A = this chain, B = another copy of it.
Amino acid sequence: MSAYRELHRRFDRHYLLRSSADLLEWDAQAVMPEGGGDLRAAQLGTLRLLAHEAISAPDMPELLAAAEAAPPADAWERANVAAMRRAWVHAAAVPADLVEARARVTSSCELAWRTARREDDFASLLPQLEEVVNLTRRVGEAKASVMGLSVYDALADEYEPGAREEALAPLFARLARELPPLVDAIVERQARAAPAPPLVGPFSIERQAALGRHVAERMGFDFTRGRLDVSVHPFCGGAAEDVRMTTRYDEDDFLSSVLGVVHETGHALYEMGLPRAWARQPVGHVPGMGLHESQSLLMEMQAARTPELLGYLAGAAATHLGVTLPRESLERHALRVARSLVRVDADEATYPLHVVVRFTLERALVAGDLSVKDLPGAFRDAMERVVGVRPPTDREGCLQDVHWPTGAFGYFPSYTIGAIAAAQLFAAAVAAHPEIPAELAEGDFTSLRGFAHEHVHQHGSRYDTNGVLERATGCGLDADVLIAHLRRRYLG
């Protein structure tokens, strides 16, 4: 067997184990009874460890070198070899016991977080979160020493290949500088307009679920290859042929629920559109989480907040919820900008400021400059300083996000990379297909989804995020486009 075939076989097994673990994580978040937590943590520890072992045997360097020395003729296979090396570097850098411990501890910390968040009880989470931070730091140190990166960069590279503090820090500094005056101007302008009439709830959860399902179907979500369920923290997981997205419903606010479904469906369409032939190989997956987030934001922030799609949603709400709301009313709610407490509910103008808070604090946590016990206060201070509001509780403060309890340090920048990429991609899509707004007014996503599929989905990770953006939009990641979009939409 050639070195490449042998690697292919190992990565196939790696994927089968990893996707099994992903399914067990979906189950834990969407349907598992609380008593299953200890067992689930142990199962995940074992599966993550075996997935790790599948691609970190001692002969992997030789196999990779041999595959690289005699590169396959096929361009996809060559790209796959590069993606294999990347995956191997991240896997092999971390000792097996640490992989297993990290999976076990983060799984049980995630459950503890659910309770702590519900009960606004940071103290109950502290011991487990400390353990997660310590283990994550050890993982980062192990990777950093192999990859020749800072600990934070080594962690972030797992989610965003090539992302480096030295580029992210100035990007976020710029956003922290330029967005607040922009937000002030928008808030002032919106304050002059008449207040939006309230959305008249309660809206039955069942009807909202039917509306969400309808919208997901219109967007192209294939329910024979996926599900939509409920979880505390909405996410999109599973595998390309079995995508599991979740949402949450609020009886008083159907709009945020339906926009949440639009967001997760954007992720889901990416997963469903990845190259089927490569589904179990590294090149068949996304090149980075920023590009993944760009697909959810392309739908949720760019498309769904156009007057055209909001008009369509007003009609769909009338049909499914029996409420008559003028498009303008939905627009007021959907485009309202405010310095608010919860990141996932934030508008697109203040959202990057929430990310600045996380980016700043997670670097300090990983570096040991901020101890976990001091996180609640540091979070409140940073929110006040950067976003301009002070969380009155930890529930609305440092307990709001699932990322740190699950060890996902270095993930947050991907949200802003995604927001920028989404602005670039939407502009390019509309330039290439001027019929997009008219289609959206009919709830028709054909051209937009087609553009995303052609330029993003179908490539897997044959190109990196910048490569995808350059091919699709003519330039790499460019924050100017996001800022120009915000000015045009909110102040233009």
Residues of A participating in the B interface, judged by any CB pair closer than 8 Å? 13, 16-17, 19-20, 23-24, 27, 31-36, 38-40, 42-43, 45-47, 50, 222-227, 238-239, 241-242, 279-280
Kindly identify which residue among B19, B32, B45, B241 contacts A35, using a CB–CB cutoff of 8 Å.
B241
A33 touches B223 (CB 8 A): yes
> In whole angstroms, how far apart are the Cα atoms of A23 and B225 in the complex?
19
A241 touches B23 (CB 8 A): no
CB-based nearest B residue for A40: B242
Residues of B within 8 A of A33 (CB): 223-227, 242
> In whole angstroms, how far apart are the Cα atoms of A174 and B38 in the complex?
48
Identical copies of this chain, number: 2
- Most chain B beta-carbon neighbours within 10 Å: one of A40, A46, A223: A46
Mostly, the A contact residues are helix
A35 touches B227 (CB 8 A): no
Kindly identify which residue among B36, B47, B239 contacts A39, using a CB–CB cutoff of 8 Å.
B239
From residue A31, how far is it (CB to closest CB) to chain B in Å? Answer: 7
> In whole angstroms, how far apart are the Cα atoms of A33 and B243 in the complex?
9
B24 touches A20 (CB 8 A): yes
Residues of B within 8 A of A50 (CB): 50
Q: A20-B20, A20-B47 are in contact. Are A39 and B227 (CB under 8 A)?
A: no
- Most chain B beta-carbon neighbours within 10 Å: one of A43, A45, A239, A280: A43
From residue A21, how far is it (CB to closest CB) to chain B in Å? Answer: 8
> In whole angstroms, how far apart are the Cα atoms of A17 and B53 in the complex?
15
> In whole angstroms, how far apart are the Cα atoms of A40 and B13 in the complex?
13
Q: A20-B20, A20-B24, A24-B20 are in contact. Are A224 and B35 (CB under 8 A)?
A: yes
Kindly identify which residue among B24, B36, B43, B239 contacts A36, using a CB–CB cutoff of 8 Å.
B239
A225 touches B24 (CB 8 A): no
Q: A43-B19, A46-B20 are in contact. Are A38 and B227 (CB under 8 A)?
A: no
Residues of B within 8 A of A241 (CB): 35-36, 38-39
CB-based nearest B residue for A49: B13
From residue A380, how far is it (CB to closest CB) to chain B in Å? Answer: 34
17 contacting pairs across A/B (C-beta < 8 A): A13-B46, A16-B43, A16-B46, A20-B24, A20-B46, A23-B43, A24-B24, A31-B31, A32-B242, A33-B224, A33-B225, A35-B225, A35-B226, A35-B241, A39-B242, A40-B242, A42-B280
Residues of B within 8 A of A36 (CB): 225, 238-239, 241-242
Residues of B within 8 A of A46 (CB): 13, 16-17, 20
> In whole angstroms, how far apart are the Cα atoms of A50 and B49 in the complex?
12
